Chains A and B, each alone.
Chain A
Amino acid sequence: MTLQVAVALDDRSFAAQDWVAAVQQADDARLDFVTFDDAFGRRGPDAVLVASRVAPVTRHIGLVPVATTTHTEPFHLSTALATLDWVSRGRAGWQVRVSADPAEADLLGQRAPLGFDDLFTEAADAVEVVRRLWDSWEDDAIIKDVATGRFVDRDKLHYIDFAGEHFTVKGPSIVPRPPQGQPVIAALTHQARVWERLDVDVYFVTPADVDNAATIVRQLPAEKKVFADVVVFLDADQETAIRRRGATTSDAAVFAGTPAQLADLIASWEPAGIAGVRLRPGTPADLTTITGELTGVLRERGLFAPSTATTLRERLGLPVAVNRYSQEAANA
């Protein structure tokens, strides 16, 4: 059985050509998606905009930026991600993040930092709002009916009327429903129960070994796609990789070795029920080894195959996103 291979980009470059080069490399190697790390107060460019900057110059790869729910407007998040989906023709995703850092609250300057529970309540509400807004235009809302002079059928545009503890949002979106209907939502989780409150499609998890991976997968709902994160240092000989790894520590497992050895590790984790791996290159050179050598090894062993899917949802094997409002209308 083949696995999906993603890469986590953690670059902080402000030069467009650096990002274009990295993502084109991954695109050419037919990796399934890249994530763009970010945080509300982080040094570095805005990740959603970086993803948008590379979208027109890449063809296949999914583009999954991190965006924070804590100090941002759910309405803006929804429209920005819908736009990323339009710009990339159905390749957009979103890695949800919350912010517990008081210094980040000071950047917005409107309220005290939220407690742990509130952070996730708010994030769950933000995800719900983002999703409802994506559905707030039915796919056939635009009618261009010359006889009645109507461009749009207003019965197919929906107020979302969301009211939660931290915000209310009326809707509908300003953006027509994006090509995927529902772009893919992901979250990195170290404690599955916390993130279960959010309606996400993909979990990034950090198992220490295959048994741990199997335990984590069993704890998560079966329909979720689980990707195991691994930090990788790759070299032609293991000693060099180990030397480069040095004392690197991470929340995820840290691998140092040859591409063939990493392929062994990935093969050994496959029975745990993961959908794939998200590799975090130790350095930019490791990205080059992933795209230039590792994918070749994985293909030879039948562990990886370039997807022919055109959207990220399809590529991940997620079902076609049924519009909740069309569904309501059909059931009424």
Chain B
Amino acid sequence: MPKQIILAAHFPGVNNTTVWSDPRSGSQIEFSSFEHLARTAERGKFDFFFLAEGLRLREQRGLIHDLDVVGRPDTLTVLTALAAVTTHLGLAGTLNATFHEPYELARQLATLDHLSGGRAAWNVVTSHGAFFGENFRRGGFLDHADRYRRAGEFIEAARTLWDSDGGDFAITSSQFDIKGRFGVPRSPQGRPVVLQAGDSSEGRDLAARYADAIFSRHHKLDDAQQFYRDVKDRLPAYGRNRDSLKIIPGVSYVLGDTDADAQEKAHHIRRQQVTPQTAILLLEQLWNQDLSAYDPEGPLPAVDPVLDEADTIIKGRAGMFPDRLKTANEWRALAEAKKLSIRDLVIEVTGRQNFIGTPDRVASLLNEYVQTDACDGFILVPHLTPAGLDDFVDQVVPLLQERGVFRTSYESSTLRANLGLA
């Protein structure tokens, strides 16, 4: 039997991937939107629904970012409500190990696992720095160097609590000194599924040690294959087999009647995603300075980026440019060669959809990635709320099912079992 593909549905995020100017774009906050996407994913026999967490509104140039969709629900509350309108779909959410505490979060996740009949999943991330901390009791208490230590100790603590089966516990580590009684009996999955998204070597080790799945950012086939090998090779050191950790990149796609039609649609979507104002803001994120005086239809700045990583122009979003100067020079060279304006350049270099083509072509590409060990499945990120996955479920899922690489009915009622995890 060929490898089976894992599929997940990402609720559209608060960034310029999500197009709000399209007439088909619906509410980003009303429950009906979450319900629509979750029901669509379940109709398509997806493994899970995925929701990111908000801790503070993003800022740029010291102002609240106003160009992108913004305003989202509390992760756990909306996932638990979705348990009422679905029966088999996994319910995964990001919950930050820095701004939650183990006893309360473990209790909430175990509650979700009980109330959903074994469908809870937790994407563990950590943050440092004062920006998010300004909304929380302890402020920016965590040093950058301690991020993975806290994440690891947090997962260990949560496991201890879940494994206690509602019993007594005592945990002492560098981050935590807690004890008492955990008032939740063993939940249907025992331990909710753990996802991890870090990409550094430390992040990969953390995943190899604790995670059931990685929400990866590697999309190019060779790059993804290399990442896949790297992470899976780390597993034996932790006494784990290669199938016990699933690699699932977040990806976007565009479908068309022909490949050319799909390419045209993809270009149109990218123009919607990169408005003239957004083009300047995205350029500022690389240049790390105010570029509001520049014309989005004009040439790139001649000045170089500001190389001050301690004080970046954007707050509330992970850094994307390890070498600003190098990337800026590449962008300038590309703009020069192709005669691109700022906006055209930004459209060219950011946010290109990963899989573009007819349903048949997209199905083939997705399957190729999985069968050649570039990944074990995909977290699909639609650009429209809430109907952005309708076409995929209607047109691509049946093709994957025909090829025998995707389920036609759920194997189990728990997410852990549907993912093929022990």
Q: Point out residues on A near B: beta carbons under 8 Å.
A: 14-16, 19-20, 40-46, 48-50, 52-57, 71-73, 75-76, 79-80, 82-84, 86-87, 89, 103-104, 106-110, 137, 141-142, 144, 146, 148-154, 157, 166-172, 174-176
Report how far A76 CA is from B83 CA in the complex, Å. 20
B76 touches A80 (CB 8 A): yes
A73 touches B137 (CB 8 A): yes
Q: Which residues of B contact A72 (CB under 8 A)?
A: 104
Q: Which residues of A contact B101 (CB under 8 A)?
A: 71, 108, 110
Q: Which residues of A contact B351 (CB under 8 A)?
A: none
Known: A14-B185, A175-B72; 6 extra A-B contacts, CB below 8 A, are A14-B111, A14-B184, A83-B74, A106-B178, A109-B178, A151-B68
* Nearest chain A residue, comparing its CB with the CB of B63: A154
| Interface check B276, CB cutoff 8 A | yes
B277 touches A149 (CB 8 A): yes
B29 touches A149 (CB 8 A): no
One of B67, B103, B112, B275 near A49 (C-beta < 8 A): B112
Q: Which B residues between 97 and 122 are near A, CB-CB below 8 angstroms?
A: 99-101, 103-104, 107-108, 111-112, 114-117
Q: Which residues of A contact B139 (CB under 8 A)?
A: 168
Q: Which of B139, B178, B185, B276 has the most CB of A within 10 A?
A: B178
B31 touches A86 (CB 8 A): yes
Do A56 and B20 contact each other (CB < 8 Å), given the known contacts A50-B115, A108-B101?
no
B31 touches A154 (CB 8 A): no
Q: Which residues of A contact B166 (CB under 8 A)?
A: 43
**Mask of B157-175 contacts with A, CB within 8 angstroms, 1/0:** 0000000001000000000
Q: Which residues of A contact B100 (CB under 8 A)?
A: 73, 76
A73 touches B136 (CB 8 A): yes
A154 touches B55 (CB 8 A): no
B80 touches A149 (CB 8 A): no
* Nearest chain A residue, comparing its CB with the CB of B114: A14
Do A80 and B71 contact each other (CB < 8 Å), given the known contacts A49-B111, A71-B104, A87-B31?
no
| Interface check B403, CB cutoff 8 A | no
| Interface check B129, CB cutoff 8 A | no
| Interface check B401, CB cutoff 8 A | no
Report how far A172 CA is from B66 CA in the complex, Å. 13
Q: Which residues of B contact A142 (CB under 8 A)?
A: 71
Can you list 22 residue pairs at the A/B interface with Cβ under 8 Å? A15-B114, A20-B84, A41-B180, A43-B184, A46-B107, A48-B77, A49-B115, A50-B115, A53-B81, A55-B81, A56-B31, A103-B180, A106-B180, A107-B103, A108-B101, A110-B101, A137-B71, A146-B21, A151-B68, A169-B135, A170-B134, A175-B74
Q: Which residues of B contact A84 (CB under 8 A)?
A: 77
| Interface check B321, CB cutoff 8 A | no
Q: Which residues of B contact A48 (CB under 8 A)?
A: 77
| Interface check B299, CB cutoff 8 A | no
* Nearest chain B residue, comparing its CB with the CB of A56: B84
In order of increasing CB-CB distance, the 5 nearest A-B pairs are A174-B54, A43-B183, A149-B277, A109-B178, A170-B134
The minimal Cβ–Cβ distance linking A123 to chain B, given in whole angstroms, is: 14
| Interface check B242, CB cutoff 8 A | no
| Interface check B177, CB cutoff 8 A | yes
Q: Which of B68, B84, B184 has the most CB of A within 10 A?
A: B84
Interface size on B, residues (CB 8 A): 62
Q: Which residues of B contact A170 (CB under 8 A)?
A: 56, 134-135
* Nearest chain A residue, comparing its CB with the CB of B117: A16
A73 touches B69 (CB 8 A): no
Q: Which residues of A contact B3 (CB under 8 A)?
A: none
The minimal Cβ–Cβ distance linking B169 to chain A, given in whole angstroms, is: 9
Q: Which residues of A contact B29 (CB under 8 A)?
A: 86, 175-176
The minimal Cβ–Cβ distance linking B170 to chain A, given in whole angstroms, is: 9
A57 touches B84 (CB 8 A): yes
* Nearest chain B residue, comparing its CB with the CB of A160: B135
A175 touches B73 (CB 8 A): yes
**Mask of B197-230 contacts with A, CB within 8 angstroms, 1/0:** 0000000000000000000000000000000000
Report how far A55 CA is from B85 CA in the complex, Å. 10
* Nearest chain B residue, comparing its CB with the CB of A76: B74
Do A151 and B30 contact each other (CB < 8 Å), given the known contacts A16-B83, A169-B135, A174-B55?
no
A157 touches B77 (CB 8 A): no
Q: Point out residues on B near A: beta carbons under 8 Å.
A: 20-21, 29-31, 35, 54-57, 63-64, 66-74, 76-78, 80-81, 83-85, 99-101, 103-104, 107-108, 111-112, 114-117, 134-137, 139, 166, 176-181, 183-185, 187, 275-278
* Nearest chain B residue, comparing its CB with the CB of A20: B84
The minimal Cβ–Cβ distance linking A62 to chain B, given in whole angstroms, is: 16
Q: Which residues of A contact B278 (CB under 8 A)?
A: 149
B70 touches A152 (CB 8 A): yes
* Nearest chain A residue, comparing its CB with the CB of B35: A56
B81 touches A52 (CB 8 A): yes
A87 touches B114 (CB 8 A): no
Report how far A148 CA is from B176 CA in the complex, Å. 48
One of A49, A79, A82, A107 near B80 (C-beta < 8 A): A49
Q: Which of A71, A109, A150, A154 has the most CB of B within 10 A?
A: A109
Do A83 and B135 contact each other (CB < 8 Å), given the known contacts A146-B21, A170-B56?
no
Q: Which residues of B contact A169 (CB under 8 A)?
A: 134-136
A54 touches B84 (CB 8 A): yes
Do A45 and B30 contact each other (CB < 8 Å), given the known contacts A56-B35, A153-B66, A157-B57?
no
A151 touches B20 (CB 8 A): yes
Report how far A46 CA is from B177 CA in the complex, Å. 22
Report how far A170 CA is from B84 CA in the complex, Å. 34
A149 touches B275 (CB 8 A): yes
Report how far A141 CA is from B191 CA in the complex, Å. 40
One of B21, B57, B84 near A144 (C-beta < 8 A): B21
Q: Which residues of B contact A157 (CB under 8 A)?
A: 57, 64
Do A83 and B73 contact each other (CB < 8 Å), given the known contacts A14-B185, A52-B81, A149-B67?
yes
A107 touches B180 (CB 8 A): yes
Q: Which residues of A contact B135 (CB under 8 A)?
A: 75, 169-171
Report how far A151 CA is from B275 CA in the complex, Å. 12
B111 touches A45 (CB 8 A): yes
* Nearest chain A residue, comparing its CB with the CB of B108: A46
A87 touches B81 (CB 8 A): yes
Report how far A16 CA is from B80 CA in the complex, Å. 10
Do A174 and B72 contact each other (CB < 8 Å), given the known contacts A45-B111, A52-B80, A149-B277?
yes
The minimal Cβ–Cβ distance linking B109 to chain A, given in whole angstroms, is: 9
B73 touches A166 (CB 8 A): no
* Nearest chain A residue, comparing its CB with the CB of B133: A170
Q: Which of B29, B115, B187 has the most CB of A within 10 A?
A: B115
